[in-house]
Chain A
Amino acid sequence: MKSLCIIAIKEIQEGLRNRWVLATTLLLLALSLTLSFLGSAPTGNVGVRALDVVIVSLSSLSIFLLPLIALLISYDAIVGEVDRGTMLLLLSYPVARWQVLLGKFCGHLAILAFATILGYGATAAALALTGTPIGADSWMAFAQLIGSSILLGAVFVAIGYLVSAHVQDRGTAGGIAIGIWLLLVLLYDMAILGFLVVDQGRTLSADMLNVLLLLNPTDTYRMFNLAGSAGVSSLSGMAGIAEVQTLQPPVLLGMLAVWILLPLAAATTIFSRREL
């Protein structure tokens, strides 16, 4: 446990030093501020609670951006250190390989969590400061947004490690990471949409659609945030779905947890067997 913390702290230290923390935080901050202030301007007069609008914008932003950031941080974590030779030295110390991997995971997750909380939290604070009335359930939905965004980041950090533990070459790891991003964030949804349009509901039942959406962590995240609270779902155009949706938030969160634990366990196993 102690070794795990030492490695996590070093990972954070490195993140601070090579400006990953700064870059990620600034990016999320800038985008979320832009989205919420430009995005809420036209709706301001209609009397919609602005924070709910922000949640819709931010969750769409997160689905694209957080997986990308998480994969960029993580794809290099193992193969890069093996490549540079630093892993050889690290593993000669009294530390198990699973401790190295989990330590790195904690460190990277801390960086992502910091950036998300600060970047998105600043937007909520800015809204509150400008005098926008925000209800308690909106605050709740916003907290859920931040929490699930961190979970989404963790999913892709774990997937990045799995790639990193498996391949022999940094370039390959980067390529596969981008491929995974494209597949899970863009292509998967397009394929489902396309199929739905062609199929016209003949073969694909609502249950099957639920299963398909659960199989993709980004869709799980989307359902959790956009259909999760009444105020948000009416804005996101997901109200129809929210009514028939049989998937409860705990199921969705559990699915995200599975998406973290499985790749992480697989990465640990592969890394433990890897010969240096």
Chain B
Amino acid sequence: MNNTVEIDNVSKRYGRIEAVRSVSFSLPAGETVALVGHNGAGKTTLIKLMLGLIHPSEGMVKILGEHPAAGEFAARRRLGYLPENVSFNAALTGRELLAFYARLKGEAPAQAMALLDRVGLAAAAGRRVGTYSKGMRQRLGLAQALIGAPALLLLDEPTTGLDPALRQSFYEIVQELRDRGATVVLSSHALTELEERTDRVVIMNRGLMVANGSLDALRRIARLPTRIRLHLTGGRPAQMPGWLESAGTWHPVNGHVIELDALPEQKMDLLRQAIHADHALEDIEVVPPTLDELYAHFLRSQGDAR
């Protein structure tokens, strides 16, 4: 029992709208989790439930061993949250705001100032937040989420408005927190960006959780084909070798590249044959199904099930 987050059969209704329906999952410490779904799929509702800002209509939410909606606040000291479209009071400076948030968490404001440096805002710390660009506000939002070395970070669309260099340093910070044992929940649309950085993917659709598992596990469940690209030297032969014909679906990409779609159990066999075949191979690319494709697949399969 070392789970940071436990969500057990939780539903949340707003009037007639069911924002979240019977969702259950638990997140162990030290995991980076991608929360994926369309707008309105229930991601933000789930995050608000975890924060205790709203009460579940049914089920139980437990964060760091506490029930957040029941007015237990000790866990919030070890929780960092970055809302979608974060906003601050424009009249105060970055430094003043960060000091305010640090005090609320019971941390020394002086220590929090190092975070401004960390997110690249040290030079603008004395300026009013009203003069900040969207990217700078996002960075200030990240800095306040990191106050007090949180054990659970809930980041709603964290990289919107960040330029590529900052995205990189953002993911470095996330990596560092994970190494320290923090659970990081990232909700995002930028699926390709999340792909290499998450231990677990939770896919939401219309309030239902349609998938929950590591990327590899989801690939196994989805049974999506791996794409194999063969680069041939000297162009495509007029007569394709027999093993290729039996391999099923293949199609030419251009004059000297052909692409095969291989099911998981076929993959190794096909690769072996491709290497041992007599025509000259220049290169082989193996592309496993991306998070994008998995996401589309799970949404589709849920649609079929209805």
Most B-side CB within 10 Å, residue of A13, A14, A86, A88: A88
Q: Which of the 9-residue segments B85-93, B117-125, B213-221 touches chain A?
A: B85-93
C-alpha gap A86/B53 in the complex (Å):
13
Which chain A residue shows the least CB distance to B97?
A10
Residues on B with beta carbons closer than 8 Å to the beta carbon of A89: 81, 83, 86-88, 141, 144
The answer to whether B104 and A3 have CB atoms under 8 Å apart is yes
Residues on A with beta carbons closer than 8 Å to the beta carbon of B77: 94
From B81, B91, B144, A17 is in contact (CB under 8 Å) with B91
Known: A6-B104, A93-B104, A94-B77. A275 touches B54 (CB 8 A): yes
The answer to whether A85 and B83 have CB atoms under 8 Å apart is yes
The answer to whether A17 and B92 have CB atoms under 8 Å apart is yes
Within residues 70 to 84 of chain A, which ones have a CB less than 8 A from any CB in chain B?
Answer: 84
From B71, B85, B92, A14 is in contact (CB under 8 Å) with B92
The answer to whether B87 and A93 have CB atoms under 8 Å apart is no
The answer to whether A6 and B103 have CB atoms under 8 Å apart is yes
The answer to whether B54 and A10 have CB atoms under 8 Å apart is no
Most A-side CB within 10 Å, residue of B73, B76, B86, B104: B104
The answer to whether A94 and B105 have CB atoms under 8 Å apart is yes
C-alpha gap A94/B104 in the complex (Å):
7
Please tell me if B106 contacts chain A, counting CB pairs below 8 Å: yes
CB of A95 to closest CB in B, whole Å: 6
C-alpha gap A93/B154 in the complex (Å):
13
Known: A86-B87, A89-B81, A94-B73. A13 touches B96 (CB 8 A): yes
Contact flags A1-19 to B (C-beta < 8 A → 1, else 0): 0010011001001100110
Please tell me if A262 contacts chain B, counting CB pairs below 8 Å: no
Please tell me if A130 contacts chain B, counting CB pairs below 8 Å: no
The answer to whether A96 and B73 have CB atoms under 8 Å apart is yes
Which chain A residue shows the least CB distance to B96?
A13
Residues on A with beta carbons closer than 8 Å to the beta carbon of B87: 84-86, 89
Residues on B with beta carbons closer than 8 Å to the beta carbon of A94: 73-74, 76-77, 104-106
Which interface class (under 10, 10 to 19, 20 to 34, 35 or more) fits B?
20 to 34
Contact flags B170-194 to A (C-beta < 8 A → 1, else 0): 0000000000000000000000000
Residues on A with beta carbons closer than 8 Å to the beta carbon of B74: 94
Known: A94-B76, A94-B77. A85 touches B91 (CB 8 A): no
Please tell me if B101 contacts chain A, counting CB pairs below 8 Å: yes
Residues on B with beta carbons closer than 8 Å to the beta carbon of A275: 14, 53-54
C-alpha gap A17/B100 in the complex (Å):
15
The answer to whether B76 and A14 have CB atoms under 8 Å apart is no
CB of A100 to closest CB in B, whole Å: 10
Residues on B with beta carbons closer than 8 Å to the beta carbon of A13: 92, 96
From B48, B53, B86, B104, A85 is in contact (CB under 8 Å) with B86
Please tell me if B143 contacts chain A, counting CB pairs below 8 Å: no
CB of B246 to closest CB in A, whole Å: 58
Residues on A with beta carbons closer than 8 Å to the beta carbon of B14: 275
Contact flags B194-218 to A (C-beta < 8 A → 1, else 0): 0000000000000000000000000
Residues on A with beta carbons closer than 8 Å to the beta carbon of B79: 92
C-alpha gap A193/B53 in the complex (Å):
49
C-alpha gap A86/B130 in the complex (Å):
13
Size of interface on A: residues with Cβ below 8 Å to B? 22
Within residues 21 to 60 of chain B, which ones have a CB less than 8 A from any CB in chain A?
Answer: 48, 51, 53-54
Please tell me if A140 contacts chain B, counting CB pairs below 8 Å: no
C-alpha gap A104/B216 in the complex (Å):
50
The answer to whether A91 and B53 have CB atoms under 8 Å apart is yes
Known: A6-B104, A86-B89. A93 touches B76 (CB 8 A): yes
C-alpha gap A203/B92 in the complex (Å):
57
The answer to whether A86 and B88 have CB atoms under 8 Å apart is yes
C-alpha gap A92/B87 in the complex (Å):
14
Most A-side CB within 10 Å, residue of B51, B89, B144: B89
From A6, A84, A91, A92, B100 is in contact (CB under 8 Å) with A6
From B53, B76, B85, B91, A276 is in contact (CB under 8 Å) with B53
The answer to whether A96 and B92 have CB atoms under 8 Å apart is no
C-alpha gap A6/B101 in the complex (Å):
9
Residues on A with beta carbons closer than 8 Å to the beta carbon of B54: 275-276
* 26 A-B residue pairings within 8 Å (CB atoms): A3-B104, A6-B100, A6-B103, A10-B100, A17-B128, A18-B91, A84-B87, A85-B86, A86-B88, A88-B53, A88-B83, A89-B81, A89-B87, A89-B88, A89-B144, A90-B104, A91-B53, A92-B51, A92-B76, A92-B83, A93-B76, A94-B73, A94-B74, A96-B73, A276-B48, A276-B53
The 5 closest A-B pairs by CB, nearest first: A94-B76, A94-B73, A92-B81, A17-B91, A85-B87
Kindly list 18 other residue pairs between chains A and B, CB separation below 8 angstroms, not including A89-B83, A95-B73. A13-B96, A14-B92, A17-B128, A18-B91, A84-B87, A85-B83, A85-B85, A88-B53, A89-B81, A92-B51, A93-B76, A93-B101, A93-B105, A94-B105, A96-B71, A96-B73, A275-B54, A276-B54
B residues in contact (CB < 8 Å) with A: 14, 48, 51, 53-54, 71, 73-74, 76-77, 79, 81, 83, 85-89, 91-92, 96, 100-101, 103-106, 128, 141, 144
A residues in contact (CB < 8 Å) with B: 3, 6-7, 10, 13-14, 17-18, 84-86, 88-96, 275-276
